[in-house]
Structure 1
Amino acid sequence: MEVLWYLTGPDGRYPWRADGARALTYPYFQQLARAVDHLGYTGALLATGSHDAWVQGASLIPYTDNFQHLIAAHPPLLSPVLLGKMINTFDQFSKGRLRVNIVNGDAKLMAQYGVHLSHDERYAYTDEYLTVLTALLRGETVTFKGKYIHVVDAGIPLPPYRQPAPLWFGGSSPAAHEVAAKHIDTYLSWGETPQQAEEKIREVRALAAKHGRADKIRFGIRLYVIVRETEAKAWEAATDLYEHMDERSIAGAQSYVAGIDSIGQQRMSALHGGRKPRDLRELEIAPNLWSGIGLVRHGPGTALVGSPEQVLARIQDYRDAGIEVLIVSGMPLLEEAYRFAELVLPHLPVDRAVDPGVTSAWTKERDTAWKKQA
């Protein structure tokens, strides 16, 4: 399987609060990327956040050796030809260390960028977009005219490093499932229960079979993790987070997701109902799966909480459901990356596509310095 960490803010002990957030500087991202690289993760997700994910990812290439960048891209914001060129450029410069997360967004987010398509229109747009993009990444010259996309004799002069960068994607609506089944290499879900994940996997795989792609699509899930040496200590850590979820922060997060047209977000919100009960364990929606983070964070809002043995057991539940990829994180990102890597990661069969010929500039500098000291 593959296990990716997370490389997008906000970050800190309590990042939903000004007094609990951490400054996100370029040196900090370098430090975090280096940690993810040497701790044994497959890579990390660079999602939509305060920084542009493509600039951020490109700037970190020289500081890592094996780090696989999963970088978000919003179809309506970029020409498919331009994105194809960006993909192959990044792929060449990183020597094959790129995956692309196609993000449809929601109406509120896309309106900030001047895009005003309805929910299903966004997926119809993405369907046309990926039809063009995947052909370009195969090295074809493309002429295509649809309802939204029109390109003439389009091509990408730069070939991929080895093979086209894989495309990842998430979405919980029927329209999203159809797009994933038709075009996508890895379909992602936010942190629903293993049973819910299994239902979605079964549906998307059946749709993929209709396109002759049942064996070409795999499945992943995005989760937070609160792992400690014992279950009691893990719930103490969750309690600390919970006690710092103030009314103002909860109200702000819930106001943003109110009326949102993202089906995935609606499913996440239903897990906690937008309320903070006195006992945080009331938000334990399945064994060791806690929905409390969704109170202060839109998007994925569930966390695995427990001892290493319990977290591993729950991960196995997801694997049994058909999950092959985990995207996990904790707060703060740096410290929890070490904790998960020490307590859980060694017990997972992690696949790292290591290229022994890839050596970063900073690794060469480090090795030279060590030789001088010797």
Structure 2
Amino acid sequence: MDVACAFPTTLDTPDNIAMAESLGYVRAWVYDTPQQSPDVWMTLALAAQRTERIGLGPGVLVPSLRHPMTNAAATATLAALAPGRVSVAFGTGFSGRRAMGYGAISWSFMDAYITAYRGLLRGETVEWEGKRMRMLHPAGHAPARPVDVPVLVGALGPMGNEVARKHADGLYVTFQPPEFMREYSWVPYLAWGTVLGEGETPDSEHARLAGGPGWALAYHGAYEFGGPAAVLDLPGGEQWLAVVERSPAEERHLAVHSGHCVELNEADQAAWDAGGHSILTDVTISGTRDQVRRKLDDLAAHGVTEIVFQPCGPDTRTELERFLDAAGSHLKPA
């Protein structure tokens, strides 16, 4: 299993990616979340200038946020800055859309979008929104076409699997890994958590800061995919929902996604304090060094080929170091 990392795009991310490279991580994925982050492509370009080996890519791009020509041109630019190191993943938009009040894009739109995007990178004339277009970059303005970069698709259900089979070089997975991921030879799995010290309890301040943001996704995801009733099934769910429902209905998505993947928001903190921390090790890759390693063994046995760890909390280096140490035998030489 390859050991990669991910970062919620911040102004510090290029330096954090350089740090991850120095520690031995094989790839860094960066989120496309414009409602809370700097631009993903600008961030990756800066990272390319500060690194030499580590793989780079957006994980995941949300197609509705940019015209396919814009993403194709940005991909070509990054491929010129970091030749042989670029991969691109696409998803239907969890935080990248739901945090702005939208639902996920349709798989038919994803199919059409990746068709156009890959065609543009091959140097073809494609049709988008009823118009014919092609990458017209003169020599020196972008790499000559075709621009060949691996493409992954984030899919959980059968419709997504069909699109991935058609377009993808691999499957980008988070939340509950689907059984069909065994069909793919490259399966990065995005995960959160923290390595706890021996005797450290799940309600420690370190666990809250470093494991809490990933733990909170259980509540965010339950609300978005299952509604309020699903949240009530979680410990502290009643307290979480009470905070969210103080907001007007048309703005509740703001209360849900504030601090997403970075810190606990007010609702998350209410759930944590009400006993929600008790499921930290169930919903994240958190635990002692040995417990984390066993969780990685299980993921590898089910078809994950690349673990993608997002560090949280105030000490990024220590979180990256502890996770890499826990990964142990799973780490492939850089």
Go from structure 1 to structure 2 and tell me whether the alpha carbon gap of 1:106 and 1:226 turns closer, same or farther (over 3 Å shift): closer
Aligned amino acid, residue 324 of structure 1: T
Q: How many Å apart are 1:237 and its aligned residue?
A: 5.7
Name the residue aligned to 1:290. Answer: 282
Instruction: Identify which of 281, 301, 312 aligns with 1:320.
Output: 301
Aligned amino acid, residue 29 of structure 1: T
Kindly provide the CA deviation profile for residues 250-280 of structure 1, in whole angstroms up to 9, marking residues without a partner as x.
Answer: xx9899667535x8x99x9698466248666
Kindly provide the CA deviation profile for residues 307-342 of structure 1, in whole angstroms up to 9, marking residues without a partner as x.
Answer: 2x332222111111111011112332332012223x
Quote the Cα distance in structure 2 between the aligned partners of 1:323 and 1:315: 9
Go from structure 1 to structure 2 and tell me whether the alpha carbon gap of 1:83 and 1:322 turns closer, same or farther (over 3 Å shift): same
TM-score by length of 1: 0.64
Q: How many Å apart are 1:91 and its aligned residue?
A: 0.4
Quote the Cα distance in structure 2 between the aligned partners of 1:134 and 1:100: 11
Task: Check the 8 A contact 1:305/1:311 in 2, yes or no.
Answer: yes
Task: Check the 8 A contact 1:92/1:160 in 2, yes or no.
Answer: no
Kindly provide the CA deviation profile for residues 73-116 of structure 1, in whole angstroms up to 9, marking residues without a partner as x.
Answer: 22112221221121011101112222212132149826839xx6
Go from structure 1 to structure 2 and tell me whether the alpha carbon gap of 1:32 and 1:222 turns closer, same or farther (over 3 Å shift): same
Aligned residues: percent identity?
17
Task: Check the 8 A contact 1:91/1:161 in 2, yes or no.
Answer: no
1:95 maps onto 2:83 in alignment:
yes
Name the residue aligned to 1:363. Answer: none
Name the residue aligned to 1:180. Answer: 164
CA RMSD of aligned residues (A): 3.8
Name the residue aligned to 1:357. Answer: none
Aligned amino acid, residue 80 of structure 2: Q
Go from structure 1 to structure 2 and tell me whether the alpha carbon gap of 1:310 and 1:66 turns closer, same or farther (over 3 Å shift): same
Matches within 5 A, 1:1-374: 1-8=1-8, 26=11, 28-47=12-31, 48=33, 49-71=36-58, 72-106=60-94, 109=97, 112=100, 119=104, 122-137=106-121, 139-144=122-127, 149-155=129-135, 157=137, 158-159=142-143, 164-192=148-176, 197=177, 199-202=179-182, 205=183, 218-228=186-196, 230=198, 232-233=199-200, 236=201, 239-240=204-205, 260=224, 272=234, 275=237, 276=271, 282-283=278-279, 289-291=281-283, 302-307=284-289, 309-332=290-313, 333-341=316-324, 343-350=325-332, 352=334
Name the residue aligned to 1:355. Answer: none
TM-score by length of 2: 0.71
Quote the Cα distance in structure 2 between the aligned partners of 1:38 and 1:75: 32
Quote the Cα distance in structure 2 between the aligned partners of 1:271 and 1:324: 32
Quote the Cα distance in structure 1 between the aligned partners of 2:2 and 2:203: 26
Q: Which runs of no fewer than 5 residues in structure 2 stay unpaired?
A: 238-270
Go from structure 1 to structure 2 and tell me whether the alpha carbon gap of 1:156 and 1:345 turns closer, same or farther (over 3 Å shift): farther
Higher strand share: 1
Aligned amino acid, residue 7 of structure 2: L
Go from structure 1 to structure 2 and tell me whether the alpha carbon gap of 1:126 and 1:241 turns closer, same or farther (over 3 Å shift): same
Quote the Cα distance in structure 2 between the aligned partners of 1:41 and 1:254: 26
Quote the Cα distance in structure 2 between the aligned partners of 1:321 and 1:253: 22
Go from structure 1 to structure 2 and tell me whether the alpha carbon gap of 1:77 and 1:319 turns closer, same or farther (over 3 Å shift): same
SS in 2 for 1:152: strand
Q: Which runs of no fewer than 5 residues in structure 1 stay unpaired?
A: 10-23, 206-213, 292-301, 353-374
Quote the Cα distance in structure 2 between the aligned partners of 1:188 and 1:270: 29
Task: Check the 8 A contact 2:285/2:295 in 1, yes or no.
Answer: no
Q: How many Å apart are 1:129 and its aligned residue?
A: 0.6
SS in 1 for 2:156: coil
Go from structure 1 to structure 2 and tell me whether the alpha carbon gap of 1:75 and 1:198 turns closer, same or farther (over 3 Å shift): closer
